[in-house]
Amino acid sequence: MSWPNAGIDWPRSLKRMPDQLVLLPGWAFGPAALQPLCQALSEQSPDLEVVVEPLPELADADAWLDELDRRLPRNTWLAGWSLGGMLATQLAARRGDACRGLLTIASNPCFRARIDWSRAMAENIFDAFHEAFRLDPQETLKRFRSLCSRGGFDPRTLARQLQVSQSQASPEVLDAGLQLLAKLDGRSSLRDYFGPQLHVFGGRDALVPASAADALGSWMPGVTIKVLADASHALPLERAEEVAGAMLAMISGVRG
C-alpha cells in the first residue's frame, strides 16, 4: 500500500525535534561544575541537546526566577543541582505544560529546616553560615567546598575540582543566593507541577541529608526518587555517569 503522504519533505516545525535539557548549577558554582554531568549525558544520549546555564547574577533575590523564566528556552526538561534544582522546581510549576519534566540533584524542597520540614540544615547552622559569609566570603566559600565534597570517595580531589568551577559572582550576588536557599519552599511547586519528576540524592551528603529523600517520598509518593549510596553533595561531579543514567532513564521512559 502506498501512503498518500509518503516521501513528503515535512517542514522542520512539523518534524520531531530532539529533546533539550537545561541544567542549572548550585550556589556559588558556575557552569563548569556541571560539565562532567553534561559530558556523560551527551555520551550516553547523543540525540539529547544539553545546555548548562549559569545562575542569575542579580543582587535582588526576588528577581532571580523572573530572570530565569525570561532567559531559558521553553518546552525543555528543567534540571538543577542543589539551589539550581530548587529554582528549576519553581520554574517547572510556573511553566506547567511548557516544561517537559523536572530533574533535581541533591536538592531539598527546603534547604533550611522548618517546623514542618526537619530533614534539612538546622536553622541555627544555616544562619551562622550566612553570617560567616558576610564577614569573610572567601574563607566561608572554602568551608563550603569542603562540605560539598565531604562523604565522597576522594574529598580532597573533589574539593579542588569544585574550587576550579567556583562562580566568580560578587559577594552581593552570592548573598542573594543564600537568601533564596533560606526562604525557598518547593513543596507546593512540586505538587503543582504534574509532569514527570526525578529527584536524586547522595547517601552521604553533608548539606542535604539523605533522609530528605524519605521525607520527599512521603510528601510526593508518585515521583521517582533515587539515592546514590556513598555519594557526597557534589554527586554531579563524582558520580556523573550514574546521575546521567538515572536522568536518561526518566527521559527515555517519557519518550516511550
Active site residues: 82, 205, 233
DSSP state of 185: -
Bridge pairing between strands 76-81 and 20-24:
parallel
**CB contact at 8 A, 148 and 234:** yes
**CB contact at 8 A, 98 and 82:** no
The angle, 0 to 180 degrees and rounded to 10, between the axes of the packed helices 123-135 and 137-149 is: 140
**CB contact at 8 A, 174 and 181:** no
Residue 25's nearest CA partner among 72, 79, 61 is 79
Residues near 44 by Cβ (< 8 Å), separated by ≥ 6? Answer: 241, 244, 245, 248
C-alpha 236/C-alpha 52 separation (Å) is: 13
C-alpha 132/C-alpha 201 separation (Å) is: 27
Q: Which grid coordinates are listed for 76?
A: 525543555
**CB contact at 8 A, 110 and 180:** no
Q: Which grid coordinates are listed for 146?
A: 569542603
> What is the number of other CB atoms lying within 10 angstroms of the CB of residue 9?
6
